[in-house]
Amino acid sequence: MHTFLTLDDVDLAGARVLLRTDLNVPVDAGRVEDDFRILAAIPTIERLREAGAGVVVCSHLGRPKGSVDPQYSMVPVGRRLAELGGFAVQQASDVVGGSARSLAADLEPGGVVLLENTRFEAGETANDPALGAALARLAGLFVLDAFGSAHRAHASTVGVTDHLRSAAGPLMVAELNALSKLINDPVRPYVVVLGGAKVSDKLPVMQSLLPKVDAMLVGGGMCFTLLKAEGYEVGDSLVEDDLVDSLEDLLRGEFGGRVNLPGDVVAADSFAADAGHRVAAVEEMTEDEMGLDIGPITSEHFVKVIEGAGSVFWNGPMGVFEWQAFQAGTKAIATAMAATEGFSVAGGGDSIAALRMFGLADQLSHVSTGGGAGLEYLEGRELPGVAALERWGQ
């Protein structure tokens, strides 16, 4: 079990709290396109405000290269946070500079300041001790509530804990509790559903989880490298040829029989929303076709397995669900995840976007804000952000 401080262990009245959230949301032309992570952060901010704390919020956004890049400014995020939260958000024009220091110093109980994108500082991703110390000087308590960033040892997730008493936020606690259930004693059958484009992103988690699960259902672009490893011709589908040999070993290994691959797919003649397409058995794909979704027979099989699961974890869509012609597989999985009576957890931006698209996000046991972090945690790897919090809980 984890031993760290939570908000129940600290005195918040009159405190100034540096809150590391995950507000890494898609922004286009100054407008937030998906506010799931903002909505997820608001209850923690509200709890701190109601307890009489002043809140200095920080997050990264996108991948600016350690310098100021206006397209990655937090300003639109702060605007949306204020709209959704119903409270005023003061926007700092820097991360630890004069604007941030002055707004933090003047913060009243219940007030909220949002710092600029932490990745505008070159020291953020390098976990520069000087940046960690400068962030720590903005407050008297640090709360890490960004599970989606806990697998990265950055200044705003780990470095600041060297200088400031640190606690886990409610979102972090909920994430760790939910995922710990899958690690420590999952109700069986334990089913993992994996999708998404690249098998290289998921290979470590496949290798780690196969011995622990009862079934692993694989769709999305990643399934075609596995199908090729099984000896199928997969036409023009996405394939990572350099992984075929290691996947052959995986599939022929002791637990390879637990991997369920598609038997049919939606095959398209090009990668386009309006591409000509048909349902084809995997072995019937022609060399100029590409699979862009799992087929109806596969969907039906996957759904049955999910509905009979005691625990199920889903990461990654089954096809190009943003395009109507290729969304049936992902919709079937999302619907089954919502319907199963087992303990259901989904993680990863695309899976969550799909659940939201189909209006099902509130019908799972837990929807994780962390994609990569969730996978690493399920693999059994120590997350630097969690380890940093545990030092304060000893």
Q: Which residues are catalytic?
A: 37, 198, 349, 372
Q: What is the CA radius of gyration of the chain?
A: 22
Question: DSSP letter string over 300-368?
Answer: HHHHHHHHT-SEEEEES-SS-TTSGGG-HHHHHHHHHHHH-SSEEEEESHHHHHHHHHTT-GGGSSEE-
Burial of 31 (0-12, 13-18, 19+ CB in 10 A): exposed
Question: How far lies 160's CA from each of 97, 165, 195, 373, 393, in Å?
Answer: 16, 9, 35, 19, 16
Q: How far apart are CA 191 and CA 231, in angstroms?
A: 25
Q: How far apart are CA 276 and CA 299, in angstroms?
A: 21
Instruction: Give the Cβ contact number of residue 68 at 10 Å.
Output: 15
Half-sphere exposure of residue 333: CA atoms within 13 angstroms, side-chain side: 33
Facing residues of 376 across strands? none
Amino acid at 129: P
Buried b (16+ CB within 10 A) or exposed e, 361-390: bebbebbbbbbbbbbbbbeeeebbbbebbb
- Which strand (E) or helix (H) includes residue 247? helix 244-252
Amino acid at 283: E
Q: How far apart are CA 258 and CA 163, in angstroms?
A: 47
Evaluate whether 334 touches 359 at the Cβ level (below 8 Å).
Answer: no
Running DSSP on this structure, what letter comes out for residue 158?
T
Amino acid at 164: L
Burial of 186 (0-12, 13-18, 19+ CB in 10 A): buried
Question: How far lies 121's CA from each of 69, 93, 151, 154, in Å?
Answer: 11, 12, 19, 11
Half-sphere exposure of residue 180: CA atoms within 13 angstroms, side-chain side: 10
